[in-house]
Amino acid sequence: MKLVRFSVIFFLFLFSQTAWFETSCFPDVLDTQSPAFNSDYAASIGEKVYTVKTEGETSKKIDGVINGIKKNLDNTAYMLIEFREKPLPGAPVFFDDKVIGMVYRQSQTGDLFEVMPVNVILAFAKNLQRAFPDAKRPGDDAQGKTVAEDNISIVKGYIEAQNYDKAVKILRDALKKEPDNAELHGWMGIAMLEMGDAGQAVLEFKRALSIEPGSADFHNGLGYAMLAMESLDEAVVSFKQAILLNPKHADAHYGLGTAYVNLGEIKLATKEYVLLKDMDGKMADRLFQLIMRRGGTETE
């Protein structure tokens, strides 16, 4: 499943803050004695937090410690956090398995990173909606789209952190408001698949496809759900449809190759390996290992 883009609201916020920073000389201010700190962020200075960095098919946890806060001229305040290694901008930050903010940028004071608390992001979104109440996006209301994207960004963070129960709760609440949102159903399918409930994942991907039948990602997700249920022929059909819609969908080629291996169709699996080599070397290597374990074949 493709990575979901961050909310337009979030990028507009980053842009506005960057523009302000470049035209001001307001320094970073560490105020570790602020009485508002605990109530604003539900975490104290010195508390341990973490974020998640995704590299290819794997995710790793990056620990950090809240060092202080930065006060801005617009009366907002960011957390200043020291991470063990450089985090990705826009990555969710967790405290006690709760999302408390998103990484914004590296601070000018040492190796600290500025983290925007969730309440600052939501407040900016509300102000923007008030300023542009009639703003539209192609094919949808701006406000509805923003709600879905904000939920998906948080869900993605929980899934990467393997906190599936919280991801599912957010998705269920969101789907009560937007039952026909294909992206929400797709991410619910991913969460269910990660939790081992392949049957429910199939239902979610099929629901997503009933709304957006031309999505290669949803066909791919359905393929993996079928693969998990050992419905290999159905998995092949889904992966083929995903590839028909997007011939360069590496994940679908890997899934199709895996299904062929399990069906004993080694020559067909090898063809997928050859195609995959030019798309994703790591996936191709994994598929090659599957083929070799199944008995091997020539890969020319």
Contact in structure between 32 and 82 (CB atoms under 8 Å): no
Beta strands in 131-215 (DSSP E): 136-137, 140-141
Q: Give the per-residue pLDDT at 53.
A: 78
Summarize pLDDT for 2-21 with one digit per residue, the tens. 333 334 444 444 444 444 33
Residue ranges and CATH numbers for the domains of the chain are 8-129 (2.40.10.10), 150-247 (1.25.40.10)
Between 117-126, 131-140, 224-233, the lowest mean confidence (pLDDT) is in: 131-140
Our measurement of the distance from residue 98's CA atom to the centroid of its chain's CA atoms, rounded to an integer in Å, reads 16
Average pLDDT score over residue span 268-290: 91
In this prediction, residue 38 has a pLDDT band, given cuts at 50, 70 and 90, of very low
Between 29-43, 128-142, 166-180, the lowest mean confidence (pLDDT) is in: 29-43
- 97-104 long-range contacts (CB < 8 A, ≥24 apart) are 97/161, 97/163, 97/166, 98/42, 99/154, 99/157, 99/158, 100/41, 100/42, 100/43, 100/49, 101/41, 102/10, 103/51, 104/14, 104/17, 104/78
**C-alpha span between 189 and 206 (Å, rounded):** 9
What token pair was written down for 221? 């997700």
What mean pLDDT is reported for the chain?
76
Our measurement of the distance from residue 92's CA atom to the centroid of its chain's CA atoms, rounded to an integer in Å, reads 9
**C-alpha span between 68 and 80 (Å, rounded):** 5
Average pLDDT score over residue span 197-209: 95
**C-alpha span between 213 and 237 (Å, rounded):** 14
Is pLDDT above 70 for 142?
Answer: no
Nearest to 145 by CA among 135, 155, 154: 135
In this prediction, residue 186 has a pLDDT band, given cuts at 50, 70 and 90, of very high
CB atoms within 10 A of CB 34: 15
**C-alpha span between 267 and 101 (Å, rounded):** 49
Buried b (16+ CB within 10 A) or exposed e, 131-154: eeeeeeeeeeebbebbbbbbbbbb
Q: Give the per-residue pLDDT at 258.
A: 96
Q: Is the dihedral of CA 24, 90, 247, 212 positive or negative?
A: negative
Nearest to 198 by CA among 162, 224, 232: 224
Summarize pLDDT for 65-85 with one digit per residue, the tens. 888 877 777 677 788 888 888
Q: Which residues pair with 115 in a beta bridge?
A: 79, 103
Q: Give the per-residue pLDDT at 132.
A: 52
pTM above 0.75, yes or no: no
Of these ranges, 16-25, 107-116, 125-134, 246-255, the one predicted with the greatest mean pLDDT is: 246-255
Which amino acid appears at position 44 of this protein? S
**C-alpha span between 205 and 187 (Å, rounded):** 9
In this prediction, residue 221 has a pLDDT band, given cuts at 50, 70 and 90, of very high
Q: Is 78 left (phi over 0), alpha (psi -120 to 50) or beta?
A: beta
